[in-house]
Amino acid sequence: MKNLLTATAVTAISVSFAAEALATEWNVSVWGSRRAFTEHIERLAELLDERTDGEFTLNISYGGLSGNRENLDGISIGAFEMAQFCAGYHADKNPSITVLELPFLGVSDLQQEREISQALYEHPAVVADLARWNAVLLMPSPLPQYNIVGVGDAPQTLEDFDGMAVRATGGIGAAMETIGAVPNSMSATEVRQALDGGLVQGVSFAPHAHMSFGTIETGEWWTTNLNPGTVNCPVVVNSDALATLSDEHREVLMSSVDDALDYYIDYYNEQTMAAWGPALDERGIERVTFSEEELQAFREAAAEPAAQAWIEENTARGLPAQELYDFVTGMIAEGGM
């Protein structure tokens, strides 16, 4: 009996160790706080937990693992398995996807932004670009067109932006320069202090970020239709971590992405955008709307020069820049996929 019990105990211990070996927990580095921008990651965590009976889980850290500008570096060395970042934070590290941040591309909605991003992420040049950082692009974080919340006298025409310091990254910053603004590419977590301290007079964000990072608590006006562009902020995974997943867990991860993005887009459209107008009204923030004539002149001055500069710069880097630009603009012209 003693030997039988010992054998049974050993078997139980072995089963326990096997179960632990099958369990996978990934650390995920994001920043700020939970908000619309991270809802697809939160939903992905729920789906993985549900679909693997708790064997594959995500430990989502809001700023506890890395700074937002260092998330790609952290992925490259395997400091964590998954992370979110914005291409404009370090355009030199991920030049291929900055094509999606060019001004006035003409993307119509979040679903089209999603489709174009997902298609571009599979382009061989983009895959190779991110592979330099041991990163595999998992899913985008589709965002609407950016607009500006500012302090001081509200601009009545685009000329009033001349000399104004504005937080604006990537192609949005390049566009704002064409009307005389002075862009600053500080990260989102630095913005409220900069606005309160007078370092900038305007902040370019999507609505969720204006609410999450508090610019509407200080802001006095908001541009309703400037729409110079948006930013591209993918979620990536460490390539080694992805390769070492079991086939079952890898399949669950990849097959859950579209469900997570469906949830994200519904959340943004139905909750974030629904809250935006009332949030402005409650704080008495003035809405500034520019004429179509002014906006057309803005588009003509900003879009083509920015695109040509991007193509020239990234062709010199060795990227098929014209091909990537034509890929994106061709999809937009066709209405998405």
**Mean pLDDT of the residues in the chain:** 92
Smallest CA-to-CA distance from 269 within 117, 139, 112, 118 is with 112
pLDDT tens digits, 55-82: 999 999 999 999 999 999 999 999 999 9
Give exposure, 165-194, as e/b (b: 16+ Cβ within 10 Å): bbbbbbbbbbbbbbbebbbbebbbeebbeb
Between CA 180 and CA 166 the distance in angstroms is 10
The pLDDT, as a whole number, for residue 336 is 54
Q: Which of these ranges, 14-23, 67-76, 187-196, 288-297, has the smallest mean pLDDT?
A: 14-23
- pLDDT, average across residues 39-68: 97
pLDDT score for 138? 98
170 pLDDT band, cuts 50/70/90, is: confident
**What pLDDT band is residue 187 in, cutting at 50, 70 and 90?**
confident
The yes-or-no verdict on residue 337 having pLDDT over 80 is no
By percentage, how much of the chain surpasses pLDDT 70? 93
Q: Residue 202: what pLDDT?
A: 97
- Strand order across the beta sheet in which 182-184 lies: 182-184, 165-167, 202-205, 147-150, 221-223, 286-288
Q: Is 38's pLDDT higher than 80?
A: yes
Strands (E), the chain: 24-30, 56-62, 82-84, 135-139, 147-150, 165-167, 182-184, 202-205, 221-223, 235-238, 286-288
Amino acid identity, position 128: A
Q: Is the pLDDT of residue 149 over 70?
A: yes
pTM greater than 0.75 (yes/no) = yes
Report the distance separating Cα 84 and Cα 301, nearest Å.
Answer: 32
Which two structure tokens, joined as six digits, stand for 228? 């110079």
Whether residue 8 has pLDDT greater than 70 = no
Q: Which domains does the chain have, with CATH numbers?
A: 2-90+109-141+232-272 (3.40.190.170), 147-230+283-333 (3.40.190.170)
Task: Round to the nearest angstrom and report the end-to-end CA distance of the chain.
Answer: 68
Q: Average pLDDT for residues 265-294, to the nearest whole number? A: 95
Which tokens go with 45?
């965590």
218-259 pLDDT, tens digit per residue, is 999 999 999 999 999 999 999 999 999 999 999 999 999 999
Residues 215 and 194: their CA atoms lie apart, in Å, by 10
